[in-house]
C-alpha cells in the first residue's frame, strides 16, 4: 500500500454494520486519507464522496446519478457479496473498478440455518424461559414439553441452490443424519452421492425442511409463492437466509395462518428495515432474525481483511474480486 507521497482519499459510507466498535480500522486507514461514516443517507453520498478516489459501501447505493457527479472516483468496494447497490454499467462507462467480498460468511450463514431449524424443532429458549418462571419447580412430573420435540435424523432437507452456502448446508444436514435433496441445474454426476437432485414438484413434495440459497433473479423472485406452497407438506419448515424477495411474503404469511406450513424461519425480508405492515412480522410460527447470519465476529474479521486486500491489489494494478 502507498506509504509515501500523496495518499488516496478513501470514504466508507456505512461502516457501522461491519464494525460497530469491536474491530480495528487501522489496516484500512494505513491505505490513505480515510474517512469513515457510520451511516450515510442517499442524499449525502455525493457531498461525502466528492474528493474520494476509493468509496466503500455495504448497503448505500452508488448509482449512475452519484457516479456522474464524482469525477475523482476510481474504485468502489462493496463490503458484502451482493453488489446490486452499484450501477455497474455507469461504473464501467467511467472505467471505475468495482469489487465485492465473496464467500466470507459461508460458515456463519450455515450456522444460522441450523440455529433457526433447531429453534423450531427443539424450542430451547421457550423451555428455558419456562423453567426460569418456575414452571418446572411446580411441575407434577419430572419432565414436560411445551412444544413437539422433533428429531431430524431421517427427515428430508431440500436445498435450492448448491453454491458455497447451499453445499455446506447439505454437508451438515447429511452429517446430522438427514436425507438431502436439491433443486439444482447440476447433474447427479456433479453432486456428492448423498445429494439427490429432483424435479421441482417432486422436490417440493419431498422436503420436510426447505432451505433457500439461490441468487435473486427474475426467475427466482417469489420462487416460493402460493402455487409452490400448495405442493409442499403441511408439516414443512421453510428457511430463507438468501434474499428476501425469494418469498411471496403475503402468500407465506397466509400459509402460516392457515396451517399449510408448520414454520417459517427468515434472516432476510423483501425490504430492510421492514415496513411495519410486513405480513411476516405478525404471522404465527414465523421466526425472524434481522439479517445477521453474515455478522459473526469471525466473518466480519474476514470481511475487513478481504476489503483491505482488495484495495491493496487495486493499488498494485492487479484488482481481485472484481465484479465490474
What pLDDT, in 10s, does the model give residues 259-274?
A: 999 999 999 999 999 9
Return d(Cα 71, Cα 66) in angstroms, integer. Answer: 10
Catalytic residues: 243, 272, 291
Which residue ranges make up each domain of the chain?
8-104+297-315, 106-288
pLDDT of residue 219: 96
Residue 96 has pLDDT above 50, yes or no: yes
Q: What is the pLDDT of residues 191-248, one digit of tens each?
A: 999 999 999 999 999 999 999 999 999 999 999 999 999 999 999 999 999 999 999 9
CATH architecture of the domain formed by 106-288: 3-Layer(aba) Sandwich (3.40)
The percent of residues above 90 in pLDDT, for the chain, comes to 96
Please name the residue that has the C-alpha cell 453474515. 294
CATH architecture of the domain formed by 8-104+297-315: 3-Layer(aba) Sandwich (3.40)
Q: Is 8-104+297-315's fold the same as 106-288's? A: yes
Amino acid at each position: 500500500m502507498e506509504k509515501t507521497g500523496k495518499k488516496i482519499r478513501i470514504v466508507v459510507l456505512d461502516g457501522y454494520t461491519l464494525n460497530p466498535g469491536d474491530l480495528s480500522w487501522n489496516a484500512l486507514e494505513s491505505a490513505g486519507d480515510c474517512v469513515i461514516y457510520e451511516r450515510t443517507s442517499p442524499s449525502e453520498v455525493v457531498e461525502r464522496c466528492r474528493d474520494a478516489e476509493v468509496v466503500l459501501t455495504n448497503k448505500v447505493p452508488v448509482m449512475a446519478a452519484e457516479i456522474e457527479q464524482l469525477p475523482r472516483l476510481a474504485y468502489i468496494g462493496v463490503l458484502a457479496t451482493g453488489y446490486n447497490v452499484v450501477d455497474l454499467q455507469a461504473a464501467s462507462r467511467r472505467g471505475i473498478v468495482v469489487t465485492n467480498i465473496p464467500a466470507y460468511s459461508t460458515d456463519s450463514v450455515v450456522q444460522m440455518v441450523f440455529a433457526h431449524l433447531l429453534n423450531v424443532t427443539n424450542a430451547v429458549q421457550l423451555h428455558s424461559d419456562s423453567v426460569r418462571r418456575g414452571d418446572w419447580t411446580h411441575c407434577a412430573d419430572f419432565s414436560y414439553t411445551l412444544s413437539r420435540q422433533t428429531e431430524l435424523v431421517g427427515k428430508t432437507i431440500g436445498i435450492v441452490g448448491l453454491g458455497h452456502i447451499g453445499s455446506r448446508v447439505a454437508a451438515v444436514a447429511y452429517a446430522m443424519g438427514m436425507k438431502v435433496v436439491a433443486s439444482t441445474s447440476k447433474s447427479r454426476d456433479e453432486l456428492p452421492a448423498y445429494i439427490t437432485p429432483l424435479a421441482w414438484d417432486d422436490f417440493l413434495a419431498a422436503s420436510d425442511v426447505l432451505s433457500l440459497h439461490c441468487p435473486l433473479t427474475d426467475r427466482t423472485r417469489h420462487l416460493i409463492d402460493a402455487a409452490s406452497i400448495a405442493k409442499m407438506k403441511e408439516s414443512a419448515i421453510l428457511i430463507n437466509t438468501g434474499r428476501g424477495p425469494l418469498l411471496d411474503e403475503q402468500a407465506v404469511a397466509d400459509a402460516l395462518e392457515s396451517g399449510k406450513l408448520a414454520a417459517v424461519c427468515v434472516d432476510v425480508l423483501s425490504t430492510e428495515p421492514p415496513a411495519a405492515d410486513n405480513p411476516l412480522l405478525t404471522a404465527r410460527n414465523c421466526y425472524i432474525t434481522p439479517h445477521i447470519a453474515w455478522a459473526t465476529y469471525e466473518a466480519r474479521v474476514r470481511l475487513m481483511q478481504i476489503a483491505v486486500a482488495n484495495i491493496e491489489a487495486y493499488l498494485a494494478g492487479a484488482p481481485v474480486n472484481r465484479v465490474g
